[in-house]
């Protein structure tokens, strides 16, 4: 690594490093206690009986005035100009096509500001040996504001709604519904449970605000093949679901019987795949303790997949001893 003289000096200068850290903390504190943040808090906290649609309306209203974005970017630029080692006090959200910052977090909604460049999009679209591609439905209601649209042209796609009862066999197909240019300042509401878009063209940089709504989200995000529209696969929307699955597997591998009551509580989790995963781990820990829960799942789980899987295991357990061994 080649380290410039100024960086070398900064790395050796503890008081200067502390000054940088203090500036970062001060900016975060000013933003968190500032007028914009307070205005956002008031807007979202005032929503009675929040639904995705109501939260989207509030986000859309907040996105109309983009003065706060200018003020935020100007503030960050001024700090960086004064100290090149200043870092924005926000979580970075970086993918191969997007560089963003998570600037606002509320239990109902997260707001990010970020940039996708024409170079990033072109590199992604023209990558060698790219293979088959998918259109993704992210399972979340989102509001986008294209502060600078960069001459973008989007195609729009729709699929059957992703609900709590989503199954692969009834996922259906996605269809392209249209294509148009995106204007600077345009606000777009995408219900990621049934809608998506694809960037077909980008001539410059796209500055995007995105509000991702945490209420009424689907259990899974879904991929459809971009060529034929057929279902490809799905993954958990909420990373908490995946963490629960991993933790319960660890508990079973550790033979942690004491965790069974807590695991039983997770059998009421809203995501069908979490419920079945927990059931499997409980069965691995203690069949006798898990059996009443297995019977209940086989009879009453609201999703057909866990019901069917639980029934199959129950049949195996209740089979005569000779048949159990043969199974």
Partner 1 sequence: MNNFRITVEELPELETEVAVSGAVKQQEVVGPVCLGILVGVICGM
Q: Could you say which residues in the range 28-47 bind partner 1, by CB under 8 A? A: none
Give the whole-angstrom CA distance, residue 107 versus residue 148.
28
3-state secondary structure of 153: strand
3-state secondary structure of 46: coil
Q: Give the one residue of 281, 293, 298, 301 binding partner 1; rule: CB under 8 A.
A: 281
Q: Give the one residue of 17, 287, 296, 299 binding partner 1; rule: CB under 8 A.
A: 287
147 binds partner 1 (CB under 8 A): no
Please say which residue, 84 or 302, places its beta carbon nearer to partner 1.
Answer: 302
160 binds partner 1 (CB under 8 A): no
Smallest separation (angstroms) from partner 1 to the CB of 307: 10
Give the whole-angstrom CA distance, residue 70 versus residue 209.
12
- Scanning residues 230 to 249, which ones bind partner 1 (CB under 8 A)? 232-243, 245
Enclosing H/E stretch for 127: none
Q: Give the one residue of 55, 190, 251, 259 binding partner 1; rule: CB under 8 A.
A: 190
3-state secondary structure of 163: coil
Please say which residue, 3 or 319, places its beta carbon nearer to partner 1.
Answer: 319
Please say which residue, 89 or 306, places its beta carbon nearer to partner 1.
Answer: 306
Please say which residue, 43 or 115, places its beta carbon nearer to partner 1.
Answer: 115
Cβ pair 140, 186 in contact under 8 A: no
Please say which residue, 5 or 288, places its beta carbon nearer to partner 1.
Answer: 288
Enclosing H/E stretch for 198: strand 195-201
Q: Give the one residue of 132, 183, 258, 326 binding partner 1; rule: CB under 8 A.
A: 132
Please say which residue, 43 or 289, places its beta carbon nearer to partner 1.
Answer: 289
Smallest separation (angstroms) from partner 1 to the CB of 144: 7
Q: Which of these ranges, 3-11, 39-47, 220-228, 257-265, lies near partner 1 under the rule CB under 8 A?
A: 220-228
Please say which residue, 149 or 199, places its beta carbon nearer to partner 1.
Answer: 199
Q: Which of these ranges, 1-9, 19-27, 74-82, 94-102, lies near partner 1 under the rule CB under 8 A?
A: 94-102
Give the whole-angstrom CA distance, residue 191 versus residue 186.
16
Residues 6 or more apart whose Cβ sits within 8 Å of residue 167: 303, 304, 305
Strand order in the sheet with 141-148: 91-95, 98-106, 109-116, 206-213, 141-148, 186-191
Q: How many residues lie near partner 1 (CB under 8 A)?
A: 79
- Give the other-Cβ count within 10 Å of 120's Cβ: 18
Give how far Cα 250 sits from Cα of 133, 196, 214, Å.
34, 36, 28
């Amino acid at each position: 690594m080649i380290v410039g003289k100024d960086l070398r000096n900064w790395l050796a200068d503890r008081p200067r490093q502390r000054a940088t850290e203090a500036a970062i903390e001060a900016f975060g504190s000013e933003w968190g206690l500032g007028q914009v943040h307070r205005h956002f808090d008031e807007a979202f906290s005032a929503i009675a009986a929040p639904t995705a649609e109501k939260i989207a309306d509030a986000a859309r209203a907040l996105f109309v005035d983009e003065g706060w974005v200018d003020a935020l970017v100007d503030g960050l630029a001024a700090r960086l100009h004064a100290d090149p080692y200043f870092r924005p006090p926000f979580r970075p959200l970086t993918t191969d096509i997007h560089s963003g910052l998570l600037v606002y977090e509320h239990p109902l909604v997260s707001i990010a500001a970020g940039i996708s460049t024409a170079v990033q999009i072109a590199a992604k679209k023209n990558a060698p040996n790219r293979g088959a591609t998918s259109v993704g439905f992210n399972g979340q209601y989102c509001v986008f504001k294209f502060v600078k649209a960069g001459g973008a042209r989007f195609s729009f796609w729709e699929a059957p709604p992703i609900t709590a009862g989503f199954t692969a066999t009834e996922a259906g197909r996605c269809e392209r519904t249209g294509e148009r240019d995106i204007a600077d300042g345009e606000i777009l509401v995408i219900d990621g449970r049934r809608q998506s878009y694809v960037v077909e063209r980008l001539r410059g940089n796209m500055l995007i605000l995105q509000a991702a709504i945490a209420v009424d989200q689907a259990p899974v995000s879904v991929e459809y093949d971009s060529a034929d529209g057929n279902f490809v696969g799905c993954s958990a929307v909420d990373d908490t679901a995946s963490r629960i699955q991993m933790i319960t597997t660890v508990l079973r591998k550790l033979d942690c019987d004491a965790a069974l009551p807590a695991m039983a509580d997770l059998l009421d989790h809203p995501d069908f795949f979490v419920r079945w995963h927990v059931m499997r781990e409980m069965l691995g820990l203690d069949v006798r303790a898990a059996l009443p829960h297995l019977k209940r799942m086989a009879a009453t789980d609201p999703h057909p997949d866990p019901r069917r899987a639980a029934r199959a295991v129950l049949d195996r357990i209740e089979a005569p001893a000779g048949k159990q061994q043969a199974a």
